Amino acid sequence: MKFKIYHNPRCRKSRAGLEYMVSKTMDFEVIDYLKNGISKEEIREILLKLNLRPGELIRTNEDIYKKQFKSKLFNDEEWIQIITEYPKLLRRPIIIGKHKAVIGDPLNNIDKLI
């Protein structure tokens, strides 16, 4: 089975997740969502497989969140739109399997998927 990892090469936690995946010698595809963008459909797939709501995927420590989105209320579709426009807000790394996904922070979450 092939996995996908949504990866930000500038993020320490994301790099650690990628290294962990490599150490497991798993067959996976690296998706650099900051470089290539992320679609609403991809976000919906991630949410479904994580069993989370869009607001739960947000990195609240990012400056853009603090300046533009903190203390504001958004519905699920609005959060999905915000993530597509500001993909840096997406928690990472996210590892996607056939039927399930995990956020690879902490790293042992990845073991739940494999």
CATH code for the domain in which residue 93 is found: 3.40.30.10
Range of the domain at 73: 3-112
Alpha carbons 26 and 96: distance in angstroms, whole number: 12
pLDDT value, residue 2: 87
Give the pairing type, strands 101-103 and 94-96: antiparallel
pLDDT value, residue 61: 95
Alpha carbons 5 and 101: distance in angstroms, whole number: 10
Digit-by-digit pLDDT tens for the chain (114 residues) are 689 999 999 999 999 999 999 998 668 999 999 999 999 999 999 999 999 999 999 999 999 999 999 999 999 999 999 999 999 999 999 999 999 999 999 999 999 988
Domain count, the chain: 1
User: Which amino acids are annotated catalytic?
Assistant: 11
Distances (CA, A) of 42 to 8, 72, 87: 16, 24, 12
